[in-house]
Structure 1
Amino acid sequence: MAQTTFTLDDLKRILLEGSGAPDGGDTQKEILDIEFSDIGYDSLALLETASRIEREYGIDLDEAVIGDATTPRAFVDAVNDHLTVSAT
């Protein structure tokens, strides 16, 4: 059965697996509402992350997700929206 919930811990794991530790950032502190650029992740890191999420969770993320989701909270919410639609 496919996983139907995507968490901040899932996002952190996939970011670290695909892009490594952020330059000058810290994923151990509370990062939900901090811009990805302030954490140390650029658009290429987010593209890699989205690609990994698509493969792991069997969903297709719109390109707008990457552009519009500028914080981890927004990214997690967007992935969960896609998982909810895919599950129905």
Structure 2
Amino acid sequence: MSTNEATALSIDEFTRILRESAGEDEAVDLSGDIADVPFTDLGYDSLALLEVGGRIARDFGVDLPDEDLDGVETPRAFVDLVNSALSGG
């Protein structure tokens, strides 16, 4: 996706990028509503989130400083952070 196409990140798109960037724990079902499930319960650690953050930064053309990702605990919070950056917030 180019920067010009990136208007907002959805939970579904985030989940796809999460799988592609950080893999998937076979014991965790990512096909359901994971928006408010903590990353630790989904089997992802801070390193995995940094990988995802780097991928989203490249794909969407946004700056996501590592320290901004420190407090992000759920997919919804991550998506909100990205969408805020996309809207200039």
Per the normalisation by structure 1, the TM-score is: 0.88
Match of 1:43 in 2: 46
Say whether the 8 Å CA contact 1:54–1:61 is kept in structure 2.
yes
Alignment of 1:67 onto 2:70: yes
C-alpha deviation, 1:65, in angstroms: 2.8
Q: Which has the higher contact order (CA 8 A, sep 6+)?
A: 2
Say whether the 8 Å CA contact 1:69–1:75 is kept in structure 2.
yes
Stretches (4+) displaced over 3 A: none
Q: As a proportion of its length, which structure holds more helix?
A: 1
Match of 1:58 in 2: 61
Uncovered stretches (5+) of structure 1, i.e. residues with no partner: none
CA RMSD of aligned residues (A): 1.5
Percent identical residues: 43
C-alpha deviation, 1:66, in angstroms: 1.5
Uncovered stretches (5+) of structure 2, i.e. residues with no partner: none
For 1:51 and 1:13, how far apart are their aligned partners in 2? 14
Alignment of 1:25 onto 2:28: yes
